[in-house]
Chain A
Amino acid sequence: MVMSSVGGTRAGTMSPVDRAAHLNRWRHRSLTEKAVLALGMLALAIALPPFPAAPMVAVAMMTAALAGARVPVMVWLACAAGPLGFLLVGALSVIVRIGPGGLGLAPDGLMLAACLMARSMAGVTCLLFLALTTPTTDLIAGMRRLGLPVEIADIALLMYRFVFLLGDTALAMDAAQGARLGHRDSRRRLRSLGILIANLLPRAFERARRMEIGLAARGWNGEMRVLSRRTAISVPGLALVLAAEAAVAVIGVLAS
């Protein structure tokens, strides 16, 4: 517990994405603008032929995230690097074919792989923009307004809170196990992790129970009411977003 208060760096270990989502310059822009930009561009990236739409989407969304919202470049790069392994394996499987004579290069395989990579990377830039500029709680509140059942929204919001608490507990347990040679070899590591998980689950339920008691003491009747700050939509902002999307759509269709 002492460790978690040192330096404040550990707070970010669970998710640097969440930290960026709360600290970027567009944090208080309206959810509608950000969601229309990210999801609209995502839809264009998936639906249009990848060239030239995908590179255009990627450039637009990188500009929005890095120059517009000023998300730290290193955080952005670290997140974008994650799916690369999957993408390389995926592209490799498309290039290669299994014919009667064994493995060989597929006709058009390189072209298909290039299309695949362009579209996937464009998709990733859209996802990263949304994840790095918009806190998850805002998105859940938005989905609630669009008709997500209130029970599910409540559970998701509570989960969001518990994830960071439990993540900190898990990290502390892991550090304690490491300090007691619990990570010496992979056999011991697996055992340590099993014990960690078994200790984490009762603690998770214990936390839930404590929250229950705390709420019951305040006369809770099953409803969660939280204040959220809503920013008014900026009309020029939304117009710019829609114009950019229309431009990508038109050029993407005409130039493909």
Chain B
Amino acid sequence: MHIMEGYLPAEHAAGWFALSAPFVVAGVIRLKRIVAERPHAKMTLAAAGAFTMVLSALKMPSVTGSCSHPTGTGLGAVVFGPSVMAVLGTIVLLFQALLLAHGGLTTLGANVFSMAIVGPWVSWCIWRVAGKLGASIAVSVFLAAALGDVATYVTTSVQLALAYPDPASGFIGAVLKFGGIFAITQIPLAIAEGLLTVVAMNALSGRAGKADEVGILSGEVK
């Protein structure tokens, strides 16, 4: 869920940039290492990023009957790994602002934090933990994608609440307010994206020929 341009006060915008920076810089250092070892990975990484961007521009039927867009963070985190997703997600968010007028430049830091950092990391951790606990692949993928979306939306609500606390009930009240309003669209979206990711991963696993190419990006294959 993108925070629009100009919505956050200057100090908050700067703060979220500062908070996102270490993650993105760490991702950049990793990417540089990958590209130094294999110059061809540039193309694969660009394809992965473009895929995420196109995914986020597709229309997805939501449970309530309305249409919305998948975020692609769950799928990206599971397939490419979260540290790479921090960088690719940042470029995707910048492109969304510049090509689709979606999101913004001053709010880029906040959006990167919720969508390119928190979402992918939560998805990836859940995918790992669920796998270790013996959940089936379908269940782990569903949980990873759906809860990744929920984590993103909760983070956005917290970001908005910090900027505009409720005059009576303060920060907590504001989290409930923003969270409550956005839950109407975001919870069905999370469920739909979870289901969608399961369908996509199922169909993908039938054609795992390029598995090691993807594995190199997520750092699981050397």
Contacts and interface: CB of A to CB of B under 8 A. Distances in A.
Interface of A: 14-15, 17-18, 39, 42, 45-47, 79-80, 82-83, 86-87, 89-90, 92-94, 96-100, 104, 106-109, 112, 116, 119-124, 126-128, 130-131, 136, 139, 149, 151-152, 154-156, 158-163, 165-167, 170, 174, 186, 189-191, 193-202, 204-205, 207-209, 211-212, 220-222
A83 B97 contact: no
A141 to B, nearest CB: 13
A225 to B, nearest CB: 14
Q: List the 7 closest pairs (A to B, CB-CB), nearest first.
A: A123-B6, A194-B199, A198-B203, A162-B50, A158-B46, A222-B39, A186-B61
Contact of A190 (B46, B48, B60, B210): B60
A90 B61 CA distance: 24
A193 B60 CA distance: 7
Contact of A17 (B10, B98, B173, B181): B98
B61 A86 contact: no
A127 B166 contact: no
B97 A90 contact: no
Interface string B197-208: 111111110010
- Most A C-beta atoms less than 10 A away, residue of B51, B58, B106, B181: B51
A131 B9 CA distance: 22
Contacts of A161: 46, 50
Contacts of B79: 201
Given A123-B106, A127-B97, A116 B54 contact: no
Chain B interface mostly:
helix
B23 interface: no
A174 to B, nearest CB: 8
A199 B181 CA distance: 35
Contact of B99 (A90, A163, A202, A211): A163
Given A86-B4, A92-B181, A204-B48, A108 B167 contact: yes
A113 to B, nearest CB: 10
B28 interface: yes
Given A170-B58, A198-B199, A222-B42, 18 more contacts: A17-B101, A46-B10, A46-B106, A83-B4, A86-B2, A90-B4, A94-B164, A107-B167, A119-B6, A124-B101, A127-B105, A131-B98, A152-B91, A155-B35, A166-B47, A197-B75, A200-B51, A202-B209
A15 B99 contact: yes
B102 A163 contact: no
Interface residues of B, number: 78
B104 interface: yes
A124 B7 CA distance: 10
A212 B106 contact: no
Chain A interface mostly:
helix
A199 B192 CA distance: 19
Contact of A139 (B45, B60, B98): B98
Nearest to A165: B50
Given A47-B10, A197-B200, A155 B46 contact: yes
- Most A C-beta atoms less than 10 A away, residue of B32, B50, B55, B192: B50
A71 to B, nearest CB: 12
Contacts of B198: 194
A13 to B, nearest CB: 10
B51 A158 contact: no
Interface in B24-63: 28, 31-32, 35, 39-40, 42-51, 53-55, 57-58, 60-61
B50 A159 contact: yes
Contacts of A119: 6-7
B196 A98 contact: no
A205 B99 CA distance: 23
Contacts of A160: 95
A197 B62 CA distance: 16
B101 A79 contact: yes
A120 B31 contact: no
A122 B40 CA distance: 42
Contacts of A152: 28, 31, 87, 91
Contacts of B192: 190
A98 B4 contact: no
Contacts of B195: 190, 194
Contact of A212 (B40, B91, B200, B204): B40
